[in-house]
Amino acid sequence: MLIHEARHIEVGQHPCEGSHDNLISDLGAAGCQNLFKQFLVRHSDPAQVPPEYRPTLLWEACIHREGFCQEPPRPCETE
C-alpha cells in the first residue's frame, strides 16, 4: 500500500471510476502496486520474500488486473 499511496502524491487520483486506473502501463497508483508485486515474485532475494509466498503474490497481482478499466483480460500465470 505504501507504493500505491506514494504514487498518488506524484500523479494524483485514479482516472477511472474513482478507484481504478486505466492500464497497468500508465503507472498510476494501482499500476505501480501491481508491477511491484510482480517484481517481488520474479526478482526478490529468497531471504526477503520466501519462495512459498511468491505464488500468493503472483495470484494477487493477477486478480488485481480486474481493477483496471481498460486492461485486456489474460489468464493468470502460475509461475
- Asked if residue 9 belongs to a domain, the reply is yes
- Provide the pLDDT for residue 66: 85
- Asked if residue 53 belongs to a domain, the reply is yes
How many domains is the chain partitioned into structurally?
1
Between CA 42 and CA 33 the distance in angstroms is: 15
29 close to 11: Cβ distance less than 8 angstroms:
yes
Q: What is the pLDDT of residues 19-63, one digit of tens each?
A: 789 999 999 999 999 999 999 999 999 999 999 999 998 999 898
56 secondary structure, DSSP code: H
Range of the domain at 53: 2-67
- Asked if residue 78 belongs to a domain, the reply is no
- Asked if residue 77 belongs to a domain, the reply is no
